[in-house]
Amino acid sequence: MNIGYLGPIGTFSFQAVHRAFPTEQHTAFATISECLDAVVAKQVDACLVPFENAIEGTVNVTLDYLYQNDVPLIRGEYILPISQNIMINQDGKHDWHQATKVLSHPQGLAQCHDYLTNHFPYIERVAVSSTAFAAEYVAQHPDENILAIAPLFAAEHYQLNVVCPNAQGNSQNETRFIAMSDTVIPNEADAIETKTTILLKLPDNDSGTLHSMLSTFAWRNINMSKIESRPTKTRLGQYFFHIDLDVGADNRLLANALSEIGLLGGKVKVLGSYDVYKIKSDFNC
């Protein structure tokens, strides 16, 4: 099986795909959207993309793509511990305390916002396509007094010095990655839970509709572990809802609840019912 991920070598997605699927073929893509495009176009058999971070919340690029496009089902969720590290070029030509720029993926910059504000209040924050790209850029530009925020593996791979480890400021930082495919993805690991993820669009301007639709889960004792709204990007005030339910596809009451929502005028997109796994973050060259 060929599995796409957000590259290049050294990203958290790189770690996640190698930990979750160590024996499969892996193909790197420059952006999350390109990775999802590839699985939709069947250029790869599956993809593994970040979906939610413990500090910054939902990865909106992923969520918006799932809402706006016909996509394969989610076949599994993989939770990876995240450690963001500030690193410099090994040549050591500059005083890194006086660095002018710090590069990282937008999630990396956001997760380290407090640390950067306290220790580098005047530094320019530059968003790039991935944490590993930031590390690679710093490695290739020794004459620039710049920093990268990236995983430890990226520092090893691109031969950078880590000067500020664990800059995310939260030892419980984790990211949910979802695997999407048209086919079932075998996994021999022990799952920690099973869930179903749906997207819900309400009828326009119907008072009390959201309460009525969520009640279809409540009186059937189907727990919602997550609900959030997100703009549909059509006009101001139009939203869809992203909902995680703590049941699998084999729960008969779930099918009844979704049917009732349809009768109430709601539009439901089932992204998948799947198992959740914990994976380790340490990865050696």
Q: Is the model's pLDDT at 284 over the cut of 90?
A: no
Q: Is it the case that residue 44 has pLDDT exceeding 90?
A: yes
Q: What is the pLDDT of residues 164-182, one digit of tens each?
A: 999 987 878 999 999 999 9
DSSP per-residue letters across the chain: -EEEEE-STTSHHHHHHHHH-TTSEEEEESSHHHHHHHHHTTSSSEEEEEEEETTTEE-HHHHHHHHHS--PEEEEEEEEE---EEEEETT--S-GGG-SEEEE-HHHHHHTHHHHHHH-TTPEEEE-S-HHHHHHHHHH-TTS-EEEEE-HHHHHHTTEEEEE-STTS-TT-EEEEEEEESS-----SPPSEEEEEEEEEPPTT-TTHHHHHHHHHHTTT--EEEEEEEE-SSSTT-EEEEEEES--TT-HHHHHHHHHHHHTT-EEEEEEEEEEEE-------
pTM of the model: 0.87
What is the overall mean pLDDT for the chain?
A: 93
pLDDT tens string 202-223? 987 677 889 999 999 999 999 9
Domains of the chain, start order: 2-81+173-186 (3.40.190.10), 85-164 (3.40.190.10), 193-274 (3.30.70.260)
